[in-house]
Chains A and B, each alone.
Chain A
Amino acid sequence: MPKRSETTSVQRKTEPVQYRWIWLVYVLLFALSIPWYFPQSQNPAAIILGLPAWVLASMVAVTCIAIFTAFVVHRFWKDEPDVY
């Protein structure tokens, strides 16, 4: 019986760490929060909503990280018995 429940738990994904695509999205969002894609020749920076454009882009990316995390916690972290 323990073996069966262990197999069932492995097949039923209950934690974010078991979804590879979630971590790819995180890598993408953290990469977007760092302004490597803004050409340094663009200095002095354009100002949008009172902030340099690259700062605003970084803030949008980190806000997306927060929203995505809340989504992942509620959708992919299931309150079920674990494999141990």
Chain B
Amino acid sequence: MDQFPFRFGALVFIACYLVLMLVLGWIARRQRKSESLSDFYLAGKNLGWFVLLLTLYATQYSGNTLIGYPGEAFRLGFPWIMSIGFMMSIIVVYLVFAPRLQKLARRHHFITPGDWLDFRYQSPTLTLIANMLLVVAIANFLLAQLMAMGHIVSGLSGGMLPYWLGVVLLAAVIIVYETLGGMRAVAWTDCIQGLMLLIGFAGLLIAVFPSTNHLKEVTEWIVKHQPEKAQVPPWSVLRTWVSTIVLVGVSGAIYPQAIQRIYAARNTQTLKVSLSIMVFMPLVSTLVVFLVGIAGIPHFQGLGEISADRVMPLMLREWAAQTPVMYVLAILVITGIVAAIMSTADSVLLSLSSILAKDFLGKTWLKHKPETDITRAGKLLSWVIMVILVFIALQPRITLWGLTELKMELLAQAAPAMILGVFWRRLDQRALLPGTVAGTVLAVALAAAGSGKVWGLHAGLLGLLLNLGICILSQAWLNRQEIVP
């Protein structure tokens, strides 16, 4: 990655930002009502619409949105406009199950996604399988965020700050404020991080397209010199487009950290307001990074083949060298990137520790212990998880980087149990189990065999279709057995 002209002022700005996160964690600790699981993991189920909106937003938009998405737009061209639709599809899937799940969560005091599955199916096996899918998927996701922290710090400082320092420093800040204040600290820091992200996006838009005419010039250049990136996409790409909308919509909606935010909403009205604003966020976030990638196509044409992930850092380096105003904008965008990574990592870590503490330890070693003990175990688990994942992130030879690709594929297989059970009253765990197992095996086998996509459709979607097919047929058979004994 090329050198970024980091100066003292920029380092001070980012250092102040990190200190602010720690201060918020400390204030959140002072605001705690008790040491209960609900207070630590769901902020006492009292998040108002503004905090809920920003924490949902900051959690959903990760470092990948700011680094990976411009790269994809640069590589694919205009077909990457699909990213706006697939980010919106997550909110549309929420409409299927969130209204009822939120009421159930309040009435029956759910803390984790596993609590919902236990309540609905009363099958320890199904809950265990679903939890394992969720844990593996989000542990990979957290690892990817830690590695992104290292790459961002080392890349943007031009190697002045080493990769390991980025991983360790940011991980340390996250674990400290999270242990101090739990969900309250995570949600509050997400607010600052969400605002930083929005400011970063606004800065990006101004930097990339200072005038409306500039967009037209960029498009005309692409049509003339790289027409394949502006043409109506071929059918193979259109099939992948459909597949991505379904896979991201279904998987993104059942991220444990997202489910727990539904639980944490103060009431139905706050959730309604937050989701109805969230659905517009891709238009001010994903669209902006899409345009950055598009602007990069003519801009970097002289550089020959460059790695897609370098588009954003290269843009930032150039802006920072132009004028003092652009330098400030670049710093805001960098802080936005750090904020996006941290806000996703903290939420995932909190969710992961809640599942392991409540659904695994709480049902075994800590079965008859008071909630305060489980909360304490959860905090300790957060440190253990963080230390293990930091260690893996620092050892490139044993990274699980390839597995992060499996995140959506695995999550999708838990979706029928999480979503269908909300409104399909007769759905039985005996119908769900074989479908979930078969779908997971197919998705993992296809991905492991290097067939991430078959006929343009993702392995995870094919697994989900098999999963649903088996589930529907099994349920029909069970219904028939009940009618004709």
Residue ranges of A at the interface with B (Cβ–Cβ < 8 Å): 14-17, 26, 30, 33-36, 38-40, 42-45, 47, 50-52, 54-55, 58-59, 61-63, 65-66, 69-70, 72-74, 77, 79, 81-84
Contact = CB atoms under 8 A, between A and B. Distances in A.
Interface in B318-365: none
Given A66-B280, A84-B104, A54 B232 contact: yes
A60 to B, nearest CB: 11
Interface string B94-124: 0111011001100100000000000000000
A3 B85 CA distance: 41
Given A47-B216, A69-B276, A30 B238 contact: no
Contacts of A54: 78, 232
A84 B219 contact: no
Given A15-B100, A30-B245, A62-B282, A45 B88 contact: no
A63 to B, nearest CB: 7
User: Which 4 A-B pairs have CB atoms at the shortest separation, nearest pair first?
Assistant: A50-B215, A50-B216, A43-B231, A79-B268
B209 to A, nearest CB: 9
A84 B88 contact: no
A45 B223 contact: yes
A39 to B, nearest CB: 7
B84 A44 contact: no
Which of A17, A26, A33, A73 has most chain B Cβ within 10 Å?
A73
Contacts of B91: 69
A4 B174 CA distance: 50
B238 A34 contact: yes
Given A45-B231, A84-B104, A70 B99 contact: no
Interface residues of B, number: 50
A35 B223 contact: no
Contacts of A74: 272, 276
Nearest to A22: B95
Which among B92, B233, B268 has the greatest number of chain A C-beta atoms within 10 A? Answer: B92
A46 B81 CA distance: 17
A70 B279 contact: yes
B220 interface: yes
A62 B100 CA distance: 26
Interface string B415-453: 000000011000000000000000000000000000000
A1 to B, nearest CB: 17
User: Which residue, of A69, A74, A83, has the highest number of chain B Cβ atoms within 10 A?
Assistant: A69
